[in-house]
Amino acid sequence: MTTARTALAGILALSALTGAATPARERIVDGNGIVDATIAGVPGRIRIEPSGTAMPLITTAYAERAKLKSGMLSFSYAVGAERVHGRTGVAPIDLGTGPFKHRIGWTERAYTPTTDGVVGPGGVPEDVVRFVLHTPILGERTVTMSMTDQGGLASGWGELYAQIDLGGQPLRIRFDPHHARTLATASAAVRIAAARGGTLQGTAQKVEIAFGIERPVRTMTLAKPLTVGPLQFATLGVRTADQGSTAGIADASDPIDPDEIVVTAKSKKPGRDRLTIGADLLARCSSIVFDKPAKQIRLTCG
């Protein structure tokens, strides 16, 4: 009996040691993030990107090549006032590390003209997804932020966000190295302006957001810089006509003292408040790590 117990103890100890030494599966995404993929065995090119949705979004043309069958679930992707409608179905997908079944969405309008589709870190099978953006630089540091999803019925389909505290309320942060400017939705900009003393400057310029859809954007300057992980900045773009109103943000051409900004507009849907960190700020960063089991995002920047 003693010998059996000793052997069992040894097996359990070995199992515990082996389990502790087994790292979470990690995927490294570098360069432009484009990989050779297959859906239902049909080849295509899909971009893995930090701001992508957990449900791969592909073109209808690719879905037809793969002979995908749509189920009862459909979806729409809102870009400001415009919506892109699509269908979904379940099919085996292989992003280069082996096939797995997943719900896939497709739209007539391409999310990006450079590939057959896009997918975010929530849609790859690995536990940890590391986006390598640039060569590490001297003096950079890593800051860990909590990770959240879209919530609601589309929580398993949507994007993964970092989350920061702004004025005692959470603000969702997404990372998009494939678009040049850092942008806040209108409702997020109102909150940022109130917390950091923001003023709008210049005229609106059209900026492409997704699916080739452009939205008006103005520049906002902050009296007190905003901090997101290791990044600190005092200038960002504001989507003036989307998901809220910027009517309560002072205009730099107004005679109002910026230290006396009165924010009168408040979003009725705070869940839509979102700040997207673009390539202008991510140029300072070497990597973004999405650790799904830990529900953390680690951003490393200089």
Query: What three-state secondary structure class fits 124?
Result: coil
Segment 126-130 mean pLDDT: 98
Q: Residue 284: CA atoms inside 13 Å, Cβ hemisphere, count?
A: 18
CATH hierarchy code of domain 26-130 = 2.40.70.10
- State the pTM of this model: 0.84
Q: Other C-beta atoms within 10 Å of 204: how many?
A: 16
Domain boundaries, the chain: 26-130, 133-301
Nearest residue to 293 (alpha-carbon basis) of 147, 123, 111: 147
- Per-residue pLDDT of 19-35, as tens digits, reads 344 457 999 999 999 99
Same fold, 26-130 and 133-301: yes
- Please, how many CA atoms are within 13 Å of residue 116, restricted to the half-sphere of its CB? 19
Q: Cα 24 to the chain's mean position, in Å? A: 21
Q: Specify the CATH number for 133-301; select among 3.20.190.10, 3.40.50.2300, 2.40.70.10, 3.40.50.2000.
A: 2.40.70.10
Question: pLDDT tens digits, residue range 177-235?
Answer: 999 999 999 999 999 999 999 999 999 999 999 999 999 999 999 999 999 999 999 99
Phi, psi of 101 (to 5 degrees): -85, 140
> How many whole angstroms separate alpha carbon 162 and alpha carbon 53?
14
Instruction: Yes or no: say if 270 and 151 are a contact pair by the CB < 8 Å rule.
Output: no
Longest dimension (CA), the chain: 88
Residue 78 confidence (pLDDT): 86
The neighbour count for residue 211, using CB atoms within 10 Å, is: 18
pLDDT, one tens digit per residue, over 254-297 is 433 322 222 233 434 445 689 999 999 999 999 999 999 999 99
